[in-house]
Amino acid sequence: MEVKALHAFDAVPIHTAPDCSCLGVWGHSVLVGLNNGDLQILKPEEHAAALTAAGFTTQTRRGLTSGPVLQLQTDEARSMLFCMGKQGVRVYRLPRLLLKAEVAGTRGCRAFAWHSETRTLATAYRKRVYFFTYEGLEFVPSREVPLSDTVVCLAFVGAQLVVGLSGEYCCIAPAQSGVAHLAQHASASPCVTPVSASQVLLSLGAESGLFRLPDGPRPPHQTASLAWSSPPASVAVAAPFALGALGPDAVEARPIQALSGAALVQTLALKGEAGGAEPAGADAGKETSAASSGTSGPALLCPWPLADGSCLVARAGGRLVRLSQRPALAQAAALLELGEYEECLAVAAAAPAADLEARRRLEDVAHLRYAAVLFRAGEFEGSMLHFGASGAASTLALLRLLPSLASPGHLEALAAQAGEELGAPDASPAAEPQGEEFARAVAVVLPHLLSQRNREAGASPGGVPSPAAVAVDTAVLRALLALPDSGALLHFIQRPNHVDLEEGRAALRAAGRYSELVALYQGRGRHSSALALLESLSVRPEQLEVPAQGASAELRGLPGAWAAVRYLLGLGADQLSLISTHSRWILEADPDAGLQMFTSLPVDPGALLPILNSHAPALAGSYLEEVLASGRAAPAVYQQQLAALYLRHVVQHASEDPGDPEARGLAETAKLKQLILHASHLRLDSLLALLPSHQLLELRAAILERMGRHHEALRLYVHQLGQPAAAEAYCDRVYGRQVAAAAAARRKPSGGAPPEPASHIEALHLPMLRLWLDRTGQRQDGWSDPQPSDIYLLLIQVLLEARHGAGDGDGGDGDGGSGTAAPAQGQAPATGAVSLERWAEVAELLGRKRGAIQPVHALELLPRELPLRAGLRFLRSALWGAQEERRGAAVRRSLRQAEAVGLAAQLAGAHKRLIALVPERLCTLCYKRVGLSAFVAFPDGRLAHYSCFKRHDGRGSGAVEALKAAVQAA
């Protein structure tokens, strides 16, 4: 075991008593028992600066005992002095030393012990221990305990008596009759030294054992041991040290409970003449033997319970020396230099409150140094506990524990910034742990790195980061790289940090953590480098120097494109150059991701359309469709562009696929048709000019519908496309729009200028005038004003036309003329030009549209030669329709009547009231009882005679007026 020198006590000579036989203390006074039976009392001077030889006065009490004074003990609470001589134990009252009692039956006893709390005196005589109880005037024997061997010494430890026999130690409890064995010993001088109310030091030979005496049923047990250089003759306690007398001029001091593995020893060689005692210093390498030439016996030790933890030593020849403990901070500083950090912290904790600041500084240094020692020993958790407890902890001190987390440049910058840090660990520590131990060390250090990071952020908010902030953030990055990937590193880099870009990039590339490197680039504004790295991860991952690890390993292919999209969306609208540069590979890798990026960017479509047309023209239409639907593009500007894009695509498809002249298999065809029918900002004539003459007839019909050229559109459906059902659906759309426009016009408030007719209704009425007027421009008799149902009459005209009677169906006249006049009302057209099958179709159409066309008018359109069977469906539907209308009118009338009856019942219920009339009710007007007379009830519940009400009503009665006012208020 390593032995280290301890300097805890200073020796101060105070007196010379050549005939000294025993020692005792009473407050600041020293009691010296002499061999001739006298007692010397050394009292300190009132104004003495220190307890030295010059600071005491000596008084002598003659004849205290008939022989030598063998033992002294004081009870300061009762001001009593116990003195043992050959005649036994006597008790004196202090300070006048008047005899108070003489304990009977104690003559010849070898030792005694007094316990003040229980007022118990124990004496030892040969192989027995006798107990006495102090009753105020005398000591009354209470019991005796026989033992197995001769009693050598005894002392009270708390309320228990520990007895030292010739070969063992035992314990006697006051409430028990038995004797508990403590330990065997081979010491020539057994010694019992109380340490506390439950702990005792027992001399076992060359060592002393520290035993704990529990109050409960648990047996006593040894908790620690002290190894002396040689067996001590006596042992005293000056907490936290134990002192052993090894010879007449040699005293050894050791900690009672050592906290470290080293042996801390102070050996005091008290040599010299009576004029002064010289401490041997703190030389632990030289051990003093128990014997000393020219001496007659070992030194006497007596604890002196002063504030400085003193102890009295009576050397050979009667020279008295006071061993005073040095100040706690001085002891702690010495222990700090010895490297005994635990002992240093324990001693510093006992420093007085007046030295609080100095104590804190010392503890900060001790904690910091001890943390470095524990860290090198592999006790990482304990090391960080001490590091966190140190107020001198800094970023430099923490990084020196694991230098691989910081570059030499950062360490040099921190050292230059901090200068010589107090208590900083050695700049060249032992080798770092490797493998799993390194990961464990990093996991322990990381929380403290983050704590230092918070401190640096609070010390320099904003502005240029300090070298400490850069170093600690870079160290956090390296520490997270050393730990298993849990996403913490990516989260750390995505937040504001001061990681050194070059070192961070090198570390992340070496570990293959490219996702974190992208986040680092993004935080530093290196967007081009970040997007280039994402392109490599998505398109060319095999060309990377280190294979991708962690989250970046999942960015191959489509995930990488989506990651680039999210990155570009986070940049905003001011990075169009980056968007233009990197959108090409994104659109090639994943068109859906590229389209999502373009539609989500808050940029004017005019800036993005050229980029999209350059890299992916096929997606331009989808982009315009999305931005128009979301309202981020002006319809007046971009609806025409979208329609032109769709139309060019459809025309190209129709020209390349002769088997699909209408391009029905293309999704853009349906989108273009819906756009033509519903868009309000199209230049229809421009679109019509782009259409081929004999292809895409459905789109041509849709454009003609929006232009109001219904006659031409219907002829396309009926004669060229051969789709009467589509022509009927066409008429249904026109009819629905006309009805809705008429209803909206009726809902507008009356007054002012009449609303302008809708364009499609106006466009319909213009060609219909040629049906209502004859060739001379005069109105035919019996025709009413234009109605929404006239579109069906136009369809009937087209159906009744010869297939080639109006030309080739390429649009005809620009005004919708057909060359075939509609039949006048009341004059059915002849059936010679049209087959009966076509007339049957017309009859079925009239039957289906009986809600829009009056059956009477429709019947007049049918020729008289039409067979009844051909028009049977029309007649049946017309009759059923009239019957349904009558039935519906009857149902509505019944419902109205039922509603009226219900309202009448509710009105009667509202008028009916229930009034409880008791004999005590009085008239509000005459204040007489209402009784069985006719009365009037007011809405607020008050009653009045009917005669009183009629008599006062209309005469300006104040009561009636007040009552009416109250009723109105209610």
Instruction: List pLDDT tens digits, range 391-430.
Output: 888 888 888 889 889 888 888 888 887 775 434 445 555 5
Q: Kindly indicate the confidence band of residue 863, based on its pLDDT and cuts at 50, 70 and 90.
A: low
Question: Of 251-260, 271-280, 474-483, 654-663, which range is least confident?
Answer: 271-280
Kindly report the three-state secondary structure assignment for every residue of 721-779.
CCCHHHHHHHHHHHHHHHHHHHHHHHHCCCCCCCCCCCHHHHHHHHHHHHHHECCCCCE
Q: Kindly indicate the confidence band of residue 276, based on its pLDDT and cuts at 50, 70 and 90.
A: very low
- Nearest alpha-carbon partner for 231 in 190, 280, 200: 190
Q: What percentage of the chain has pLDDT greater than the value 70?
A: 80
Stated as kind and residue range, the H or E segment containing 343 is helix 341-348
Q: Rounded mean pLDDT of 62-89?
A: 93
Which residues, at least 6 apart from 461, have a Cβ–Cβ distance to it below 8 Å?
none
Residue pointed to by tokens 């706690």:
328
pLDDT, tens digit, 9 for 90 and up, residues 312-366? 787 766 788 888 888 889 999 999 998 889 989 988 988 888 889 999 999 999 9
Q: Which among 296-310, 901-915, 928-942 has the top mean pLDDT?
A: 928-942
Q: What is the pLDDT of residue 774?
A: 39
Q: Rounded mean pLDDT of 733-757?
A: 69
Q: Is the dihedral of CA 195, 197, 202, 207 positive or negative?
A: negative
Question: Of 235-239, 511-515, 770-774, which range is least confident?
Answer: 770-774
Q: Residue 18 and residue 15: Cα distance in Å, rounded? A: 10
Question: Of 18-22, 624-628, 808-812, 955-959, which range is least confident?
Answer: 808-812
| Side-chain-facing half-sphere of 763: CA atoms under 13 Å | 18
Question: Of 752-756, 842-846, 878-882, which range is least confident?
Answer: 752-756
Q: Quote the crossing angle between the two packed helices 697-707 and 667-678, to the nearest 10°.
A: 10
What is the Rg, in whole angstroms, of the alpha carbon atoms belonging to the chain?
59
Q: Kindly indicate the confidence band of residue 515, based on its pLDDT and cuts at 50, 70 and 90.
A: very high
Q: Rounded mean pLDDT of 754-773?
A: 43
Q: What is the pLDDT of residue 776?
A: 38
Work out whether strand 192-194 and strand 199-203 pair parallel, antiparallel, or are unpaired: antiparallel
Residue 465: CB atoms within 10 A of its CB come to 18
Strands, E assignment, 241-317: 241-247, 250-255, 263-269, 300-304, 310-314
Q: What is the pLDDT of residue 134?
A: 94
- pLDDT for residue 822 is more than 50: no
| Side-chain-facing half-sphere of 545: CA atoms under 13 Å | 8
Q: What is the pLDDT of residue 109?
A: 94
Q: What is the pLDDT of residue 202?
A: 94
- pLDDT for residue 755 is more than 50: no
Q: Among the CATH numbers 3.30.460.20, 3.40.190.10, 2.60.40.740, 2.130.10.10, which is that of 111-227?
A: 2.130.10.10
Q: Residue 791 and residue 852: Cα distance in Å, rounded? A: 10
Cross-strand pairs, 58: 42
Q: Residue 473 and residue 770: Cα distance in Å, rounded? A: 87
Q: Kindly indicate the confidence band of residue 749, based on its pLDDT and cuts at 50, 70 and 90.
A: low
Question: Of 90-99, 105-114, 146-155, 275-284, which range is least confident?
Answer: 275-284
Better-predicted residue by pLDDT, 599 or 929: 929
Q: Rounded mean pLDDT of 854-871?
A: 67
| φ, ψ for residue 378, nearest 5 deg | 90, 5
Q: Which amino acid is at 187?
A: S
Q: Rounded mean pLDDT of 72-89?
A: 94
Q: What percentage of the chain has pLDDT greater than the value 90?
A: 28
Q: What is the pLDDT of residue 923?
A: 94
Q: What is the pLDDT of residue 1?
A: 67
- What would the DSSP string read from start to end of 658-678? TT-TT-TT-HHHHHHHHHHHH
Q: What is the pLDDT of residue 295?
A: 38
**CA 867 from centroid of its chain's CA atoms:** 88
Better-predicted residue by pLDDT, 848 or 753: 848
- pLDDT for residue 759 is more than 50: no
Q: What is the pLDDT of residue 805?
A: 42
| Side-chain-facing half-sphere of 677: CA atoms under 13 Å | 14
Q: What is the pLDDT of residue 871?
A: 65
Q: Which among 82-96, 417-431, 548-562, 682-696 has the top mean pLDDT?
A: 82-96
Q: Residue 707 and residue 281: Cα distance in Å, rounded? A: 119
| φ, ψ for residue 823, nearest 5 deg | -65, 140
- pLDDT for residue 742 is more than 90: no
CA distances from 37 to 22, 68, 72, 83, 124 (A): 11, 5, 12, 10, 21
Q: What is the pLDDT of residue 236?
A: 92
Q: Kindly indicate the confidence band of residue 720, based on its pLDDT and cuts at 50, 70 and 90.
A: confident
Residue 619 near residue 591, CB atoms below 8 Å: yes
Q: Residue 465 and residue 457: Cα distance in Å, rounded? A: 9
Query: What SS3 class is residue 155?
Result: strand
Question: Of 73-87, 141-155, 287-301, 890-904, which range is least confident?
Answer: 287-301
Which residues, at least 6 apart from 41, have a Cβ–Cβ distance to it below 8 Å?
29, 30, 31, 32, 58, 59, 60, 61
Q: Rounded mean pLDDT of 617-626?
A: 79
Domain positions in the chain: 111-227, 516-606, 846-912, 916-970
Q: What is the pLDDT of residue 491?
A: 92
Q: What is the pLDDT of residue 435?
A: 86
CA distances from 251 to 244, 289, 299, 558, 921 (A): 6, 10, 8, 84, 116
Question: Of 153-167, 335-349, 820-834, 916-930, which range is least confident?
Answer: 820-834
- What global pTM score does this model have? 0.62
Q: Rounded mean pLDDT of 959-970?
A: 60
Which residues, at least 6 apart from 618, have a Cβ–Cβ distance to it below 8 Å?
none
Which tokens in the block code for residue 567? 């990155």
- pLDDT for residue 714 is more than 90: no
Which tokens in the block code for residue 217? 């049923």
Q: What is the pLDDT of residue 290?
A: 31
- pLDDT for residue 286 is more than 50: no
Helices (H), 590-723: 591-600, 605-615, 620-630, 635-656, 667-678, 684-690, 697-707, 710-715
Q: What is the pLDDT of residue 355?
A: 87
Q: Rounded mean pLDDT of 830-834?
A: 47
Query: What SS3 class is residue 785?
Result: coil
pLDDT, tens digit, 9 for 90 and up, residues 437-468? 999 999 999 999 998 888 887 666 666 788 88
- Nearest alpha-carbon partner for 424 in 469, 367, 467: 367
**CA 720 from centroid of its chain's CA atoms:** 72
Residue pointed to by tokens 């902030």:
469
Q: What is the pLDDT of residue 441?
A: 92
Query: What SS3 class is residue 588?
Result: helix
Helices (H), 377-523: 380-389, 395-401, 408-418, 436-459, 467-482, 488-494, 501-511, 514-523
Burial degree of 330 (CB within 10 A; 0-12, 13-18, 19+): middle
Torsion of CA 224, 229, 234, 239, to 10 degrees: -50
Which residues, at least 6 apart from 599, have a Cβ–Cβ distance to it below 8 Å?
623, 626, 627, 630
Q: Residue 97 and residue 91: Cα distance in Å, rounded? A: 9
Average pLDDT, the chain: 80
- Nearest alpha-carbon partner for 34 in 60, 6, 73: 60
